Amino acid sequence: MNTPTLPVGGGCRTAPVLKERGQREVFCGLTGIIWLHRKMQDAFFLVVGSRTCAHLLQSAAGVMIFAEPRFGTAILEETDLAGLADSQKEVDRVVEQLLARRPDIRQLFLVGSCPSEVIKIDLSRAAERLSAKHAPHVRVLNYSGSGIETTFTQGEDAALACMVPVLPESDARELVVVGALPDVVEDQMIGLLSAMGIDNVRCLPAQRIDGETGVGPNTVFALAQPFLGDTHAALERRGARHIPAPFPFGEEGTTAWLAAIAAEFDVPAQTFEAVTEAPRARARKAVAQASEHLNGKSVFFFPDSQLEIPLARFLTRECGMTAIEVGSPYIHDAIVGPDLDLLPQGPVISEGQDVEKQLDRARAARADLTVCGLGLANPLEAEGLATKWAIELVFTPVHFYEQAGDLAGLFSRPLRRKSILKVEAAE
């Protein structure tokens, strides 16, 4: 009962993948800082980059966020490029300035960008030196969120992956759940697992550096987000073992995800049923209500966050939609394989992007709902297509049972809105 039934006509795991290379209308990995800096409350993200990086960070969420940010940009200037200024000394100077201003910071991430990568500023050397200098109060790490190396959510992957090697060694048999989740969702998840008798669940990233978990050969980990390929590999290098599962979106995905963990920890079937029965029923009811406008409709996914495959699985299996194309920036079989198994055959599975060609396909398909980035949404709406901005799926609590209805609601709202508006768009 906890194992989802495979599609009768077969899944998409072995379906041919349309691989595209061309202009990619996607964010770079720096964007992940927008949610990571709120999740990790003692961390600061210092981008070493250009004015473009700073401008991206303040524009990415569609509006400017003016709460005191725990991120900033060390903007490269002409003297940095001409080699007149020693980049290592410059990084030191800016970090001193920053730490003086924010003495509450316990972990500092030096984040590489396109220009810092191209001119080869060695941020790992800087991080090592600064870590030694400011230990034990501040730990300094580095990763690259550059557009030449990372696409949107891969920035979170790179950030988490750079933390794995410095996690303490541990022999405890512990479960680590990997991926930044909204606090309320994290609490729900921990509640469910602990009701099944699985305690000591650790989260990566932790809210604070003191809450960090150890890792070792007895560690097992589950991914809460599908875009964590490098972190997955880094944890395996530390000896930890991955529990593959479909992602916890919707009633079915959440049940399958929890079931995989329950199996790992030998939770009796009876206990599992007792714990999940009520929230499953609630989730089914909420999804049924919210998906009234989705049933029988078609959906087209532009590549954005790598959430596309698990979300397409949710929309097709639980909300009655048909997928026409499911695009993802990258497809890691080890991570999204279980979701691809469940996704009924039919849609084009595409990896990478050539945006003009994909727009041609989207216009030809005229799906009832097109899921795309903010740069494309209004132009497609103006062409009469209903769209859902993909970034909201990353910024909204959508995981696990209690959010299943909200997740369906995010997709149905544009369709509902289209059906209630009685004005023709003037432009």
Which of residues 119 and 278 has its CB atom nearest to other proteins in the complex?
119
17 exposure class (CB count in 10 Å sphere: 0-12, 13-18, 19+): middle
Q: Is 211 in the site for other proteins (CB under 8 A)?
A: no
Q: Is 159 in the site for other proteins (CB under 8 A)?
A: no
Q: How far is the CB of 231 from other proteins (least distance, A)?
A: 19
Stretch that binds other proteins, among 12-20, 27-35, 204-212, 218-226 (CB under 8 A): 27-35
**Whether the Cβ atoms of residue 329 and residue 351 lie closer than 8 Å to each other:** yes
User: Which residue type occupies 345?
Assistant: Q
Stretch that binds other proteins, among 29-37, 177-185, 204-212, 413-421 (CB under 8 A): 29-37
Residue from 240, 190, 223 nearest 306 by CA: 223
Which x/- pattern over 271-290 shows residues binding other proteins (rule: CB under 8 A)?
--------------------
Which x/- pattern over 85-124 shows residues binding other proteins (rule: CB under 8 A)?
x-x--xx-xx--xx---------------xx-xxx-----
Bond before 205 cis per omega within 30 degrees: yes
Q: Is 48 in the site for other proteins (CB under 8 A)?
A: yes
Which CA distances in Å does 421 have to 162, 371, 379, 418, 424?
A: 48, 20, 18, 6, 8
**Interacting residues of 417 by C-beta distance below 8 A, sequence separation 6+:** none
Which CA distances in Å does 399 have to 182, 248, 251, 371?
A: 9, 6, 10, 18
**Whether the Cβ atoms of residue 370 and residue 385 lie closer than 8 Å to each other:** yes
Q: How far is the CB of 87 from other proteins (least distance, A)?
A: 8
Q: Is 80 in the site for other proteins (CB under 8 A)?
A: yes
Give the DSSP H or E segment for 237: helix 229-237
Which CA distances in Å does 117 have to 47, 120, 231, 334, 337?
A: 12, 5, 21, 29, 32
Which of residues 52 and 124 has its CB atom nearest to other proteins in the complex?
52
Which of residues 66 and 422 has its CB atom nearest to other proteins in the complex?
66
Q: Binding other proteins by CB under 8 A: which of 2, 52, 322, 396?
A: 52
Which of residues 30 and 164 has its CB atom nearest to other proteins in the complex?
30
Q: Is 63 in the site for other proteins (CB under 8 A)?
A: yes
Stretch that binds other proteins, among 67-75, 226-234, 235-243, 260-268 (CB under 8 A): 67-75
Q: Is 26 in the site for other proteins (CB under 8 A)?
A: yes
Q: Is 127 in the site for other proteins (CB under 8 A)?
A: no
Stretch that binds other proteins, among 6-14, 65-73, 225-233, 262-270 (CB under 8 A): 65-73
Stretch that binds other proteins, among 20-28, 192-200, 262-270, 316-324 (CB under 8 A): 20-28
**Interacting residues of 78 by C-beta distance below 8 A, sequence separation 6+:** none
**Beta strand ranges found along 98-165 (DSSP E):** 107-112, 139-144
Q: Is 81 in the site for other proteins (CB under 8 A)?
A: yes
Q: Is 322 in the site for other proteins (CB under 8 A)?
A: no
HSE at residue 419, side-chain half, CA atoms within 13 A, is 10
- Bridge-partner residues for 348, per DSSP? 325
Q: Binding other proteins by CB under 8 A: which of 191, 378, 384, 419?
A: 378
Structure-token match 């062409």, residue found: 383
Q: Is 344 in the site for other proteins (CB under 8 A)?
A: no
User: Helices marked H in 291-354 — which ranges?
Assistant: 308-318, 333-342
**Whether the Cβ atoms of residue 38 and residue 181 lie closer than 8 Å to each other:** no
Q: Is 303 in the site for other proteins (CB under 8 A)?
A: no
Sign of the torsion angle spanned by Cα atoms 219, 237, 225, 113: positive
Q: How far is the CB of 151 from other proteins (least distance, A)?
A: 7
Q: Binding other proteins by CB under 8 A: which of 33, 56, 176, 294?
A: 56
Task: Give residues in contact with other proteins (CB under 8 A).
Answer: 22-31, 48, 50-52, 54-56, 58-60, 62-64, 66-69, 72-78, 80-81, 85, 87, 90-91, 93-94, 97-98, 114-115, 117-119, 146-149, 151, 356, 373-379, 381-382, 427
